[in-house]
Chain A
Amino acid sequence: MTLEQPTKSCSELRRAQPVFRGLEAGHRACQGCGQALAARLVTEAIGPDVLIANATGCLEVFTTAWPQSAWRVPWLHSVFANTAAVASGMEAALKAQKRNTKVVAFGGDGGTFDIGLQALSGMLERNHNVLYVCFDNEAYMNTGVQRSSSTPHAAETTTSPPGRERAGKRHLKKDLVTIIAAHRIPYAATATVAYPSDLRKKVRRGLQVEGAAFIVVHSPCPLGWGHENALGIEVARLAVQTGLYPMIELERGELVGAMPIREVHPVTDYLRLQDRFKHLFADDPRAREELEHLQELANHNIEVYGLRAQKPDRFDSEGADTVRRGGMRTA
């Protein structure tokens, strides 16, 4: 008896496997939208057995222009500020009905860092079994790029324009993860679209834990950040590699993991690609001062989270975006 020879290569067979997509193609996001990519990756990792509560924002607008919808999962948008509370209610209902379906909340940085923070804090304090995912594109993009409390220091937005008296946003980016950590929830993490397998791993971990979990996903916005549409991943990767956006994991508020940076880039590598920081490259002492300031903020992150890699590692900032298959699969 002879064994039947496969007619397709292993990689072809793998590609032929059906992949669950919670967010379908054909939505109305801008070209190069980091949030659309992030939401697709997150919903793929979640799977179909979920209820999603979505805050007002780009993601809601570009996916649900009635009578069309890009969602293949049950999805509810209520208002801007109440997403965590709506998710809390869904979870309470499922608990009462003894259903095991997951509840996930989606919000942008405006809906999470700012207007929805109280509802989020309530949800975390009550420890609802909900995974809250914040897509952080660092400004109010849906209304046309206004500063949020998540906008980085010195960045230009329409409400933090640089000018004779100002060098962009005057205040620091809110350290939301520390606020989340203070709630001592089972799991919290930062993630980015630049490291998809790391993001998937964190989503799965967030769903696994019993109780509240929070993930903030750095999601480039070509329109708001002023970078080339095709450069979103590179920009997002540099945010990690400069130390400006540390990749960390927290359990019960304690740091349990951080993605080491194999090769630390100067912040200017990241800033130079984006028009929102263009004014910092003018020949102006104040611009130089702000660049130094931003470099210091990155240095501070590297120090407090211990981000400098001791030796190359396949989970570090160079290795973690390498897709591995089979036995080498790391995510």
Chain B
Amino acid sequence: MAQQPLEGSQAIAQAVALCRPQVVAAYPITPQTHIVENLAKLIADGKLACELVSVESEFSAASVVLGAAAAGSRAYTATSSQGLLLMTEVLFNIAGLRVPLVLTCANRTVGAPVSLGNDHQDSMAVRDAGWVQLYCADNQEAIDTTIHAFRIAERCELPVMVCVDGFTLTHTLEPLEVPAQQQVDNFVGPYAFARTLKPTDPITLGTVLSHEFYPEVRHAHHRALLDAQEEIVAADREWHALTGRSTGGLLSIEGPPDAQTAILTIGSILGTLADAQAEYRDQAPAKLIKLRAFRPFPVDALKQACEGLRELVVVERAVSLGSGGIIAAEVRAALSEMSSPPRVHSYAIGLGGRDVPMNAYPKLVAAAQSESPPRFAIFDLQPAKLPAEDR
């Protein structure tokens, strides 16, 4: 299939349109805005038959798509940063109601301090909301993952958050393959939500539940998320058969099979690190583990990927302040089940949009060999910029 030059947001909007949502609701926020602008244009030009609800807040955007999905329509929203946090109450509610929805999070840091820069503080903050979270390494993955997301959401009755790095992906032009409508129709299928609200079969959704049943509902939701791993892998496998493209399912590994050092990361810095991996092949040989699914957290796949490793550097773009690395903490917990787990090094990098250059790669590999690595550190910290007492 021919490639065409598209901006990330434009590509995501086209992928969403190919999935034929009937209701789209969103509120403008940088760097998400281009996605909904592109969708609005597709609707205005008659290329997508869809109700666009231009709401007065992200809180309402999430609520509108919830109402629409419950009333029997495929629905979509997108946001970033403060907007995602404003949605938080509804995000938990959507997941608890087990309503299938797709949300694109154009990842951006959360203020204060205010910054438009890209990191994962926003989506990481809502990791316990009960959504599937898939992170995209590039814009082709953003297209493909968006299409997977509708299928995964509707088959698992779970909402899916597709995380794409703000600016780095959303505002970057790349040559991309946009699949054919027929292909997507076959892959995603028509929207069918078993608990659609209809007067001929009235049901009550969102009831009060006592502790008599509450833990069981939580268990079922947790179970559904764990089981979604199969659907994530299956979607990727089938999409690969259709298009020849794989996004790696839950996670994927690149690099020399015998390397005993690996860098695990998430999102678009994988592109930089993959290029660096090739560049520094001889100087700093290491594997690169791309974590695509953060929720559900793929414990088994991760353990398998870490077999034979001595050093694992977890590089992430968010911090749990007062604790440290978010992904690293979960990785440490998962790998503790191994008989001889690698040492886990935890670093945050590129916070607030700070550029992650190619030479970060050999530095990270070198840091992995240090005698006593810090439990957690901000890798690209420039202490000279801080007053002495804050260093």
Contact = CB atoms under 8 A, between A and B. Distances in A.
Interface in A40-99: 48-51, 53-54, 60-61, 63-67, 69, 71-79, 81-82, 84-97
Given A78-B97, A96-B50, A88 B60 contact: yes
Nearest to A122: B56
A65 B207 contact: yes
Nearest to A80: B89
Given A74-B203, A76-B206, A79-B90, A119 B54 contact: no
A88 B60 CA distance: 9
B207 A66 contact: yes
A101 interface: yes
A31 B73 CA distance: 40
Contacts of B62: 82
A84 B56 CA distance: 11
B23 interface: yes
Nearest to B201: A74
B199 A92 contact: no
Q: How large is the interface on A (under 10, 10 to 19, 20 to 34, 35 or more residues)?
A: 35 or more
Contact of B89 (A79, A89, A121): A79
A65 B210 contact: yes
B93 interface: yes
Contacts of A53: 67
Given A88-B60, A119-B60, A73 B71 contact: no
B68 A89 contact: yes
Q: Do most interface residues of chain A lie in helix, strand or loop, or is the interface mixed?
A: mixed
B207 A94 contact: no
Contacts of B97: 78
Contact of A122 (B55, B72, B90, B208): B55
Given A51-B197, A75-B202, A76-B206, A89 B75 contact: yes
A74 B65 CA distance: 17
Contacts of B207: 64-66, 69, 77
Contact of A89 (B50, B64, B198, B202): B64
A93 B71 contact: yes
A81 B56 CA distance: 13
Given A74-B203, A97-B73, A79 B67 contact: no
A65 B208 contact: yes
B125 interface: no
A81 B59 contact: yes
Contact of A92 (B53, B59, B203, B205): B53
Given A65-B208, A96-B23, A126-B53, A89 B67 contact: yes
Interface in A9-50: 48-50
A125 interface: yes
B204 interface: yes
Nearest to A88: B64
Given A51-B197, A97-B22, A87 B208 contact: no
Nearest to A69: B204
Given A92-B53, A92-B68, A94-B71, A76 B197 contact: yes
Given A61-B208, A79-B93, A89-B65, A125 B56 contact: yes
A64 B205 CA distance: 9
Nearest to B25: A89
B197 A74 contact: yes
Task: Name, among A61, A81, A93, the residue most crowded by chain B CB atoms within 10 Å (CB to CB).
Answer: A93
Interface residues of B, number: 45
B71 A51 contact: yes
A118 interface: yes
B93 A78 contact: yes
Contacts of B199: 48-51, 73-74, 101
Nearest to B49: A96
B208 A89 contact: no
Contact of B213 (A61, A66, A78, A91): A66
Interface in B188-218: 197-199, 201-210, 213
A93 B93 CA distance: 19
B96 to A, nearest CB: 10
B51 interface: yes
B160 to A, nearest CB: 18
Given A64-B204, A76-B205, A90 B68 contact: yes
A75 B60 contact: no
Contacts of B16: none
Nearest to A52: B197
Given A88-B60, A122-B57, A72 B22 contact: no
Nearest 9 A-B pairs (CB), nearest first? A89-B67, A85-B63, A77-B206, A122-B56, A82-B63, A93-B73, A89-B64, A85-B60, A74-B197
Interface of A: 48-51, 53-54, 60-61, 63-67, 69, 71-79, 81-82, 84-97, 101, 118-119, 121-122, 125-126
28 contacts: A49-B199, A53-B67, A64-B206, A66-B210, A71-B202, A72-B202, A73-B202, A74-B202, A75-B197, A75-B205, A76-B70, A77-B206, A77-B207, A85-B55, A85-B60, A85-B64, A86-B67, A87-B67, A88-B67, A89-B63, A90-B70, A92-B25, A92-B64, A93-B69, A93-B72, A93-B73, A118-B56, A119-B59
